[in-house]
Structure formats: C-alpha cells, structure tokens
Structure 1
Amino acid sequence: MKRKLIAAVGVAGMMVSVAACGSSDGDKGGKTDASGNKTLTVWVMDGSAPDAWMAAVNKEFEASHKGVKVKVEKQQWNGIQEKVTAALSEDNAPDVLELGNTQTTGYAATGGLADLTGDKAKLGYDAWNKGILPSAELDGKLYAAPWWAASRVVVYDKAAYKKAGVTPPKTRQEWIDGLKKLKASDPKSQPIYLPGQSWYVLAGFVWDEGGDLAVKDGDKWKGALGTPQAAAGMNFYKELASYSTAPKDKDEATPQQSTDIVPKGGVASWIGLGWEAGGAIDAMKKAGKTADFGYFPIPGKTADKPGSVFFGGSNLAVAERSANKDLAKEWLAFAAGKAQMTKYGEAVQGGLIPNIPAAQFKPAAGSFAEAMVQASGTGRITPVTAGWANVETAPNPIKDYMTKVLKGEDPAKAGAAADKVIDERINQK
C-alpha cells in the first residue's frame, strides 16, 4: 500500500504513507564519500518521516559511529517497485530501504533482502507489535523490522449524530441501529458512505467471523472467499452498504471519498484513514465549510473488543547486496528502537501504531488517533506470502466478488469464482 505522511498537528498530521525503510547484513568493504567517510545509504519514500526526526536520528547515529555518514535519498512512489527491484540486484544497492508491509515478502522471496533472523535480539524482536510483525517474516525467517502501521476508523458528522440521537456504537448491532435512526432523521442523506469495493474494510469483517482471504494448504495457498465465514462477513458488509448510495463497483478512492464525496455534504459517516480525515477537513475548509468530525473504532460483534482492522504500514529492510550490512543493521536497530520510535510518535501526534507498543504516543482525546489506537489490538495484515501481491493486481478478484454479492449473487457462488482466481495468482512465483 502507499500513502503520504503529513507531519502536522491534529488529524491532518496522521501517517498517510504505508511504506517503510530497511537495511542489510555483512559488510563488503563499504562505500566511502569524497571526505573518506563510510557512507550508509538509506532510501526513504517522500513524506514517510518528518525531516527533523530523520535528521536527529542520523546526527545521533553518526556521533556514535565516527567516520560514518548517513545519506538519505528520498524516493517517489511512481515507479518505485521497478526501481527497488533493479536496485536490489546491483552491487551498489542502498543499504537500508523503505518497503510497504504488503511488499516485503515479495522482495524477500526473490533473495533481495538480507536474512535478519540471527539479529532478532539486537533488533528488539520480542518487543514488537504482534499484529504488525507477520509482514516482516517469510517461512519462519525475519527479513525486516516493522516500523509503524495505521488503520481505518469510522468518521462521523457530530451534528448528524446528535440530531438523530445516536452515540458512537460498541457493537455491530448498535451500529446498524444507529444507521436506522440516521436514515429516519434525514432520509435524503447517507447514514454511511460505503463503496462496494472497499475490500480492506471487508477483510476485517471476515476476520471477525474467523475466516480469512486466503489460507495455507500444504505447500500452496488457496482462496477462502467461498467459505461460510467469508459469506458472513460479506453479508454484514452488504447490510451496511444498504444504508449507502455509493457505487457498488468502485472503491473508496474512485471517486476519492474524503475530498470528492464528504465535502459535498449529505454523508453522516464513513470509514477511512487518518490522511483521508485530514483531507476532508482541508477540502471542507477550502469550500467555506467547517468540519466537526468525531471518530470511533469499527465496532466488533461484541462490546468487549473493537472489530478487526487491516494494518497498512511500513517495514525497515536491509538489502542483501548492501556493502555495509553490519552497519546497516545497527542503524536499523537504532532508528526503529523504542527511544527513537517514541520521538517519532510525538512528531506525528500519535497518528500511528508504532512497532513497539510501549512507544505509543498518547493521542489527544476525541482524535482520530485515539480511535485508531483503541483498535490496535485487533489489527491484522493480508496473507503473508510473496504471491499476495498478484492477488491485489487489477482486476482484483476480491473487489469483483464484493460487487457481485452486492448486486444479488449468492456469496458462496461468487466466492468460489473468486477463489479460482486467487488460487492461480497467489501461487505464482
């Protein structure tokens, strides 16, 4: 996944990038600059970390590593996969690079990332958030350090909820009951804006039912949308969508819900990321309107815990062909350690789930970040296998499945058809 981070105060300061940075093992003589310093090259996506935070990290690291210079090279998302693939095959590969958490296993499977399994203790493995960690591992081996993650929450119009007499729900049933009240209060508005193909939202509902998008079957993987658990999750999604007039064959970015739909009015609630909430606030301000949003975690089946959410985020990985592997691992352990991650959280006002729970910055009461942190214990990621990237490639079979069901097709039939596509793609090398 890819997002852009805006380091600012409040919701507009949410982490919006879903990318990361990484490093590697075993020095091969190293690279030196014109002044004779050993140079450690770090690739970071544009907007993924506050400049001041990164500068402070590198200043402190260089002070404790005489003769070492950290060179940060910002990368653009456009064409980055091709650029990373090429870089990892060359002798002058970057030492540390930023990878999205759904991309990491793909690069690990091709041999482009250094095996960090033997460095778990030094990297702080035991303290990492267990919901984020799986994206950094493949076949029992560690190929990256988790950096941070972000997840979706429900964003609602406080005025609309107050008018309808609705308070933030704790359970799915309370959620539905509230949508009914919102519809009765204002029949011309949408109680919730929910596009038909918001598959990351669906994933959470499927996980809540005990299912998954795909499961391991011996040495291979197979799709799991044809299961009763997936059908139950999809049927709940369909019930929510019945209170929305959003397109059944589009996702949340087509059109962009936060800037193209919400600012026009007539939307009492929607499900989105922090950067989307910030974007909606800015768009409404430009239109001469004032946003008054509230936030709550996606409700679970019972009140004892929120619903499951997809963790989009970043991992820090080390290139296998790095000329400074040992040094890169030291930088990785330092930058992703508790002390620096605590400062990182402060810099973005708590708008992320850090790799170390103890480094979580306490977000402001009533903020998007507070709602997101409340659901941090239910965060999960997509199936951890190199072939998952093939599943997400357009046309995404999960999206097609959702549209079919929303248009009336039986979930089991639509799921079986989607599973055939998933089976073929997920097992491709």
Structure 2
Amino acid sequence: MRPPGRLLAFVCLSAILTSGCGLLPGEDGAERHTVTVWLMKGSASQEFIDRFTEEFESEHTDLDLDIRIQEWTGIGDKVHTALKDTSPEGPDVIEVGNTQVSQYVDGGGLLDLTLESMRDWGMRDWLPGLAEPGEQLSQQYGIPWYAANRVVIYRKDLFAQAGIDAVPKTREEWLTATERLNTGGNQGIYLAGQDWYTLAGFIWDEGGDLAEDTGGTWKGTLHSPAALRGMDFYRQLQALGEGPVDADEEHPPQAGVFAAGQVAQIVAVPGTARTILQENPDLEGELGFFPVPGPTAERPGAVFTGGSDLVVPKNTDHREGAIEVVSALAGEKWNTELARMMNYVPNKTTLATAVAGEEGVAAMAAGAAQGRATPATPEWANVEADNPIKEYMTRVLNGADPATEARNASRRVTEALAVPLS
C-alpha cells in the first residue's frame, strides 16, 4: 500500500500535468477572473481608464478588468435590470449618481459595504454630499468616488472697476458687493429665478431642508421658518441682476449670458468657465472663482453636491474582486489622480490639498466640505419630474406671499413623495 504522503504527491503531480493544479495565483495557467465595471460616459478619460487598468491588473494577477462605458440616458432601467439578472455577464461594480443610490438600495440589490467602509476606507473623512445618499439605516452601500458642486464664477475686471479687492466671505458681504457691481449697465449677478439647487444651499444654511422623513413618511418642508429664510435670501440676491424669474439656469444657458453681457457673477460648476471662454475668448484671464459664501466667514455656504458613488451588485459572482476594484478607485492614489485629471473634488475632505493648485477646483473643494444632497428617498425623482419648487420660486419672485406659496409647494412635494417610484 502506498504511504499517504507519497499518494498525495502523486495525485497532485498528475493533476498539475492535466489541469494546472497546484499553481500559485498569477502563475501561467492559473485561473483568472474578469471583473466587469460600468463607468458613466465622461466620468473618466480614456487615459485614466487605460492607466488604471494596466496597474490594477499588474497588481492583481488573478484579475482582469472589463470596463464598459454607459450612457446616462436610460441608465436607471439598465441598472435595475442588471441588479435582478442572475447571469454571469452582468456588472460587478457600477458607477451611479450619488442621488440615485437610494433607488437601487430600495430594491435590495446592492451589497452592504459597511465593514469595508469602516475598517479600510476611512469613511469618517468622506464628503457628506456623497456619503449620506449612499447610506440607509446605518448601512453603507454607495462608496463616494468624486464630487462636483457649484461655486461663484466672477469677472475680476468688473470687481476691480467696482473697487472690490477681496471676494466676499459672508452672505452680507456678498449682497453688499453684488449691489456695488449692479451699476453702470452691469448685472451684479445673473441668477435665474428657478435655480432650485442654489436655493437648496441657502435653505440648508438656515437649518432647513426640502423634505424630511417623519417616521417613515416623507413630507415637504419648504414652509418651515428656516426654509423661508433661505428663500428670502435668494429673493434679495436674485433681484441684483436681470435673471428671468420664470426660467432655470439652462433656459437660456447662463454660460452664454455671462459670456455675452456685462455680468459680474454666476453660480455654476467651475467647468462652466470653459464654455464661457469658448464663446468669448476675450475673457481669458478675467475669470475668478470663490466658494458660495455662508452666513458667517467661518465656513463656506452649503451647496448641492453632485457626483458619483460606486456600488457592488449583490448578485456579483466576483465579490472579492469587485471590492478590490472599489478599494482602488476610491483609494487615495487613484481618487486624487482622477480629481486632478478631470477637475473633480476628491471623495475625502482630507484630500482637498490635492487640487489646491487649480483655483476653480480649490473653490469647489472648499464648498464640497459643506455639501449636501437631495432627500435620500427614491421617490425624490417624482418631485424633480414635475418640480413644484420651481413654480414656488417664480411665484415668490413675482410678489406672491412666501408663506402661502411655500405651504402649497410643501403639499405638492409631500404628494409626489407618497407615490412609489415605478
């Protein structure tokens, strides 16, 4: 009878010769797994994707990356389908808009990444505007990737002409400076009447919100004293320019208005400056940026934070590989690389210095520390589909009673949030 040790060696040797048994991960013949990653169009350049893929695969010799670019149009239905699909061809990591995470959590299709977030990924330093929408019932499903938010883009030459040698740090300073700029045919600021994202920041600064969860039921809160104070500041600021009260910032596009006229300020993401300069190259060197001012000089004002989170479908066949991809993309090295390359805000407040050398992004990063997101309920999409906040703003700016109009708007928000998202 063959001794057990020699028998084991013989069996393993035979297996090696026929199927590669016994090879270490990464050696020729070892089984490799493909991790499929869905990234959204425009989020990362091809250069970034190529560099990341090459280095990731060299460090993870048992993994291949298959990065597939997705269009934003129709992505919601596509993700919902993928989360229910049991075939191995589905995505293992998905980039989703930060405010979309709750829609996918609600269906139970995402992997709970709370342990990794606490133990490995430094979640305490994440930007709240990215982290909070990715959390539900103290469980973290969405992992912050990158952020973008509004700042004030201003004309340095018009500030100099008005004798303003320092950008405002408080709301009162902002109103005073804007009033000085609103002379001689210049608009102190171009602020459309229905720019509800900017309004949301003023409401958050006052301690209010657009809607609140009251024991499992969401209700509109635009009529709260705090929210009314935010609307009153918006009214004062908007009056110092000629923005239409019955349109939003895209009708007409405010970048074109800024480029064509004597407009001193707009509230927009820094990337808008590129469009402005394309339309009016004479403004090269005249554009500056500062964070939206807050009630006090201690910190910038609150802003709506847009951007993306990374999620892992619960039905992934490659859980560990997917987590490795998220860990790398959201980690310090590649996150700061993405921010520098794409002019984003990194996912952590502690990484703000990585983009400090670019004025617009630095202003954005300062504001992102006070960033917020829309109410974390999937039904918020119903509100935006037929947005009563816009109508409310127009009515108030046209002279209607703010308290009455706010109560009506809150009621409509509550009704929209009571309809399950189909």
* TM-score for the superposition, normalised by structure 1: 0.85
Q: Residue deviations 1:120-158, cap 9 Å, x none?
A: 223443442344310111122211211111111111111
Partner of 2:393: 402
The answer to whether structure 1 residue 159 and structure 2 residue 154 are counterparts is no
Partner of 1:355: 347
Q: Give the unaligned 5+ runs of structure 2.
A: 1-29
Partner of 2:177: 178
Partner of 1:262: 258
CA contact (8 A) 1:170 1:299 kept: yes
The answer to whether structure 1 residue 387 and structure 2 residue 379 are counterparts is yes
CA contact (8 A) 1:42 1:97 kept: yes
Alignment of 1:271-290 (within 5 A): 271-285=267-281, 290=284
Deviation of the 1:361 alpha carbon:
4.3
- Out of 303, 309, 312, the position equivalent to 2:306 is 312
Deviation of the 1:412 alpha carbon:
1.2
Alignment of 1:91-240 (within 5 A): 91=86, 92-120=89-117, 121-166=119-164, 167-184=166-183, 186=184, 188-240=185-237
Partner of 1:43: 38
CA contact (8 A) 1:346 1:361 kept: no
Are residues 95 and 266 of structure 1, via their aligned partners in 2, closer, same or farther at CA, if it must alter by over 3 Å?
same
Q: Secondary structure, in 3 states, of the residue corresponding to 2:186?
A: coil
**Mean Cα deviation higher: 57-66 or 206-215:** 57-66
**Mean Cα deviation higher: 35-44 or 299-308:** 35-44
Are residues 361 and 346 of structure 1, via their aligned partners in 2, closer, same or farther at CA, if it must alter by over 3 Å?
farther
What amino acid sits opposite 1:392 in the alignment? E
CA contact (8 A) 1:281 1:291 kept: no
What amino acid sits opposite 2:193 in the alignment? G
Partners of 2:283 and 2:167 lie apart in 1 by: 23
Are residues 41 and 132 of structure 1, via their aligned partners in 2, closer, same or farther at CA, if it must alter by over 3 Å?
same
The answer to whether structure 1 residue 87 and structure 2 residue 82 are counterparts is yes
CA contact (8 A) 2:127 2:371 kept: no
CA contact (8 A) 2:153 2:270 kept: no
What amino acid sits opposite 1:76 in the alignment? E
Q: Secondary structure, in 3 states, of the residue corresponding to 1:103?
A: helix
Deviation of the 1:418 alpha carbon:
1.0
Are residues 254 and 194 of structure 1, via their aligned partners in 2, closer, same or farther at CA, if it must alter by over 3 Å?
same
Q: Secondary structure, in 3 states, of the residue corresponding to 1:219?
A: coil
Partner of 1:417: 408
Are residues 284 and 291 of structure 1, via their aligned partners in 2, closer, same or farther at CA, if it must alter by over 3 Å?
farther
CA contact (8 A) 1:397 1:422 kept: yes
Q: Residue deviations 1:48-96, cap 9 Å, x none?
A: 0122222222222222322321001111122222222222221232111
Are residues 283 and 45 of structure 1, via their aligned partners in 2, closer, same or farther at CA, if it must alter by over 3 Å?
same
Aligned length: 387
Deviation of the 1:162 alpha carbon:
0.9
Partners of 2:245 and 2:353 lie apart in 1 by: 38
Are residues 427 and 139 of structure 1, via their aligned partners in 2, closer, same or farther at CA, if it must alter by over 3 Å?
farther
Partners of 2:338 and 2:148 lie apart in 1 by: 14
Partner of 2:68: 73
Q: Secondary structure, in 3 states, of the residue corresponding to 1:49?
A: coil
Deviation of the 1:323 alpha carbon:
1.9
Partners of 1:199 and 1:52 lie apart in 2 by: 35
Are residues 41 and 255 of structure 1, via their aligned partners in 2, closer, same or farther at CA, if it must alter by over 3 Å?
same
The answer to whether structure 1 residue 253 and structure 2 residue 250 are counterparts is yes
Are residues 143 and 199 of structure 1, via their aligned partners in 2, closer, same or farther at CA, if it must alter by over 3 Å?
same
What amino acid sits opposite 1:104 in the alignment? V
Partner of 2:359: 367
Deviation of the 1:402 alpha carbon:
0.8
CA contact (8 A) 2:38 2:93 kept: yes
What amino acid sits opposite 2:111 in the alignment? A
Partners of 2:115 and 2:295 lie apart in 1 by: 40
Q: Greater relative contact order (Cα 8 A, min sep 6): structure 1 or 2?
A: 1
More helix by share: 2
Q: Secondary structure, in 3 states, of the residue corresponding to 1:274?
A: coil
Are residues 41 and 365 of structure 1, via their aligned partners in 2, closer, same or farther at CA, if it must alter by over 3 Å?
closer
Partner of 1:16: none
CA contact (8 A) 2:129 2:372 kept: yes
Q: Give the unaligned 5+ runs of structure 1.
A: 1-34
Alignment of 1:21-32 (within 5 A): none
Identity %: 39
**Mean Cα deviation higher: 397-406 or 110-119:** 110-119
What amino acid sits opposite 1:422 in the alignment? V
Are residues 283 and 131 of structure 1, via their aligned partners in 2, closer, same or farther at CA, if it must alter by over 3 Å?
same
Partners of 2:60 and 2:289 lie apart in 1 by: 44
What amino acid sits opposite 1:250 in the alignment? A
Partner of 1:17: none
Partners of 2:340 and 2:162 lie apart in 1 by: 36
Are residues 212 and 331 of structure 1, via their aligned partners in 2, closer, same or farther at CA, if it must alter by over 3 Å?
same
CA contact (8 A) 1:172 1:301 kept: yes
What amino acid sits opposite 2:158 in the alignment? A
CA contact (8 A) 1:154 1:298 kept: yes
